[in-house]
Structures are given as structure tokens and as C-alpha cells.
Amino acid sequence: DGGITQSPKYLFRKEGQNVTLSCEQNLNHDAMYWYRQDPGQGLRLIYYSQIVNDFQKGDIAEGYSVSREKKESFPLTVTSAQKNPTAFYLCASSIATGKSYEQYFGPGTRLTVT
């Protein structure tokens, strides 16, 4: 079955630690995205990548970093510089960029930092 996997589903970290969230897709999609979801709010774009070895900042990139070394993988690191990291993180992919292409989402990782 093709799809997007995110692991782990729940993640707990102490304040001051960096943490990396995994996102893998086997849909052969070129574009990948990371969103953050907070209670009662819509999704906000953190980073996106249109092609391997290239990525761009989204609306709320401060305190986050990404890499895109392989087409199928787009890990997100939440650094200690992120002031309010506790949230639900969603990874998505799209066959191509452009306004007509829908995005497909993974199941999400809920990060709790104490």
C-alpha cells in the first residue's frame, strides 16, 4: 500500500533537547511539506521541499530544520530554539507543486516537551 508514514506517533522530550520527527513516503511524490497544528487552529506551514536536496522555509520556520537527501524522506528537527514546540506535526506530500495538486497527509506525530 502506498502512503506516508510518520514515526513515532507520540514523542516526549525535555526542554532544551533537539528532536527529529520522521516522515517517509512511497508514493513517488516530488514535493513534501511539514505543517504544525495547534488546538482549535488550522495548519501552518513550517518547511517544504519541491525536489531532492532543496527546501524552503514556510510561514513558521524559526526553531526548525529539515533535510531532503532522498526523494522518499523529509525529516524535521525541532530544535531547542523553538519556543513553543508542543504541538501535533503533520507531514504531507504531493505529486508536484502547483495549485491543482492535492496533498496527502501522514498520520501525524504528537510532540510534548516539558
Partner 1 sequence: GNSVTQMEGPVTLSEEAFLTINCTYTATGYPSLFWYVQYPGEGLQLLLKATKADDKGSNKGFEATYRKETTSFHLEKGSVQVSDSAVYFCALSDDGSSNTGKLIFGQGTTLQVKP
Residues that bind partner 1 (CB under 8 A): 4, 6, 31, 33, 40-45, 48, 50, 56, 58, 90, 92, 94, 96-108
Nearer to partner 1, 67 or 104 (CB): 104
Q: Nearest distance from residue 31's CB to partner 1, in Å? A: 5
Nearer to partner 1, 82 or 109 (CB): 109
DSSP string over the chain: ---EEEE-SEEEE-TT--EEEEEEE-S--SEEEEEEE-TTS-EEEEEEEEETTEEEE-TT-TTEEE--SBTTB--EEE-TT-S---EEEEEEEESS-STT---EE---EEEEE-
Q: Nearest distance from residue 104's CB to partner 1, in Å? A: 7
Nearer to partner 1, 15 or 102 (CB): 102
Q: Nearest distance from residue 42's CB to partner 1, in Å? A: 3
